[in-house]
Amino acid sequence: MISLTVPLLIAALHLISAAAQTTGTTRYTVWASVIFSRTGERTPEVLGSDPTVLTSVGAQQQFANGQFFRERYFEPHNNFSTTNGIGPAPITGMNPEVPDVQKLYVQALDTQSTVASAQAFLQGLYPPVSFGGNQSEVQAMIDPTSRLANDSYVTPPLGGYRYAQIHTSGQYDPEAVYIAGSLNCPAFVFEVEDYINTPQFAELQASTLDVYQKIGPAFLSGVLPSDQWGFINAYPIYDYLSYQNAHNTTANTLFTSDEYTDPNTGTSYLDTLRYYANQQQYAWFGNVYADNELTGKGFEGGVKGSVSTIAGNMLAAKMIAQLQTAIRYKGAYYQLSLLFGDYEPLLSLFALADLPPLDSAFYGMPNFGSVGAFELYAMSNPASVEFPSEEDLWVRFYFRNGTDVDEPYQAYSMFNYGPDNFEMRWVDFQTNILEIAVGDLGQWCQQCGASYSGSDRIFCSYWNASDSIEGAAVLSSPSGHRGVSPAIGGVIGAIVALVIAGLIFGLLMLVGGMRFHRVQSHKSELGGFKGGQKMASDRDLTLPKGGAIVGATIETTPGSPIAGGH
């Protein structure tokens, strides 16, 4: 019985922990949180194996993430340090043992690695728990659905595993654009093409060639033709080789050898390749001032950002909408929101929120399993169960760059507020984030040029109407423009067809006439831009004929690593 009563007591303790702290002091008390997590480690996106799947390493990372946030949000609030924000900070009013279908919102892009990441995270967040024995009062309080009329208790499978709801968003689901806004966005592809035509790009392609030529013969032959070993493929090459380094003994040994170490700096070429990939990806996803050659204009209402950062603009809208809903319903909905995608939306969000100038680490791609979180909190008496008013609420942005135990969960100040001002009043935060948020799906369709008939974003044709897109607004602005319903989440289990790298890859094949020799090319007879990753059910992306590049310019963000060359 001990194995049953111990979790039982812990559960009961959790539920009463807030009430027990009637010290009268005010403390950092979390009322809602929205977290975006990069997938755990997965197989490489473009080169090598397909389809991309979460590895066991990735599953362990996300499981550890779940445990980390269980500790933060569900452990009693006994030793919280207000200076660094580290330690338990329980979310008031959430059941720590059984996922609450209204208070917990989970959304994953419909790819194996992101959906499995969500599952592993949830396993760590809500480990199996059983309330057996005959303590029917506790059972009824914590887990009433597991109790039968005759007072016996039915333990769920796997020793009490709990099943949370996971919304998956595939390519036909409008919700997908909020967690992967650059996916299937033709104008984004043109923006990347523009970048490839800049002098900065040509310079980088030339100055980095040496390293790619050095590593190519040992690591890339048979995977990528030698004329494609270069900065143009910086991301797919790094993504592939970092995976090889982690899982392939030969590659791992080579990367630690002198032969593949820069003789001047003593750094492994793998690190150099990461640096190049970071530069390339920041140029693609972090260019706040890029021109959109399809629309010739930026977002409506002067919202900051561009088609380059569109994934971050959409994510910002999603994240604030979750918090707005939590506030509107006083915590009855979405107290904890977990979103799973890849690194692109985070990278764009960093750029939009002015994080790179604050800390140059934000120019780099976040690690697998990294999380960005907005915590909505109040300095209140933890015993209080009354949801604070908007005037009393604050927000902090936290980032944790991966799941290693010693990786800090650190608060950063956004929007140029100064390094120490990482605490923002909710009302200020809302004003600032609305300046970078694009919540309107119609704008996404328009900016991306996805409204034409023939786009596989079929939902865009609905927004391709001259009339207002009022009903589509996800955001409520402080001026009282309200359109949020608690049922924001879409649930369509469509097959996600396109991985961003696949899209870019296809583009490069188009632009540079490249051909990748796939290690396993048994599926490549399907053809089309996804090559071997294409599913029979996928449709080819049809780029509009008018989408040719005509004298477009690109501006680099002040201080971006691209501006200064390398």
Binding site for ligand NAG (CB under 6 A): 79, 134, 148, 150, 152, 218-219, 244, 248, 250-251, 278, 361-362, 364, 366-367, 399, 401, 446, 451-453, 464
The nearest distance, CB 315 to ligand NAG, in angstroms, is 16
| 516 in Cβ contact with 47 (< 8 Å) | yes
Question: What does the block give as tokens for 29?
Answer: 């008390």
The nearest distance, CB 423 to ligand NAG, in angstroms, is 19
| 366 in Cβ contact with 347 (< 8 Å) | yes
Helix, strand, coil % in the chain, rounded to nearest 5: 45, 10, 45
Residue closer to ligand NAG by CB (options 148, 487) is: 148
The nearest distance, CB 184 to ligand NAG, in angstroms, is 14
Residue closer to ligand NAG by CB (options 182, 242) is: 242
| 484 in Cβ contact with 474 (< 8 Å) | yes
Residue closer to ligand NAG by CB (options 409, 452) is: 452
Residue closer to ligand NAG by CB (options 22, 134) is: 134
| 470 in Cβ contact with 483 (< 8 Å) | yes
Helix (H, G, I), strand (E, B) or coil at 291: coil
The nearest distance, CB 534 to ligand NAG, in angstroms, is 22
The nearest distance, CB 120 to ligand NAG, in angstroms, is 21
The nearest distance, CB 336 to ligand NAG, in angstroms, is 23
Closest C-alpha among 390, 281, 430, 264 to residue 346: 281
Write the CB contacts of 418 (distance below 8 Å, at least 6 apart in sequence): none
DSSP string computed for 477-490 = BTTTB----TT---
Residue closer to ligand NAG by CB (options 366, 388) is: 366
Residue closer to ligand NAG by CB (options 67, 464) is: 464
β-pair type (371-380, 27-38): antiparallel
Phi and psi, residue 47, nearest 5°: -95, 150
The nearest distance, CB 21 to ligand NAG, in angstroms, is 13
The nearest distance, CB 258 to ligand NAG, in angstroms, is 16
Chain residue whose CB lies nearest ligand NAG: 364
- Cα angle 182, 183, 187 (rounded to 5 degrees) comes to 60
Residue closer to ligand NAG by CB (options 127, 364) is: 364
- Cα angle 17, 22, 23 (rounded to 5 degrees) comes to 120
Helix (H, G, I), strand (E, B) or coil at 313: helix
> At which residue do the structure tokens 């602005």 appear?
477
Cα separation, 464 vs 443, in Å, equals 10
Cα separation, 448 vs 191, in Å, equals 10
The nearest distance, CB 149 to ligand NAG, in angstroms, is 7
**CA contacts within 13 A on the Cβ side of 410:** 15
Residue closer to ligand NAG by CB (options 102, 152) is: 152
Residue closer to ligand NAG by CB (options 154, 535) is: 154
Residue closer to ligand NAG by CB (options 31, 399) is: 399
Closest C-alpha among 448, 405, 407, 426 to residue 544: 448
The nearest distance, CB 178 to ligand NAG, in angstroms, is 20
Work out whether the CA dihedral 53, 55, 56, 57 comes out positive or negative. Answer: negative
Cis peptide before 76 (omega within 30 of 0): no
Question: What does the block give as tokens for 368?
Answer: 């697998």
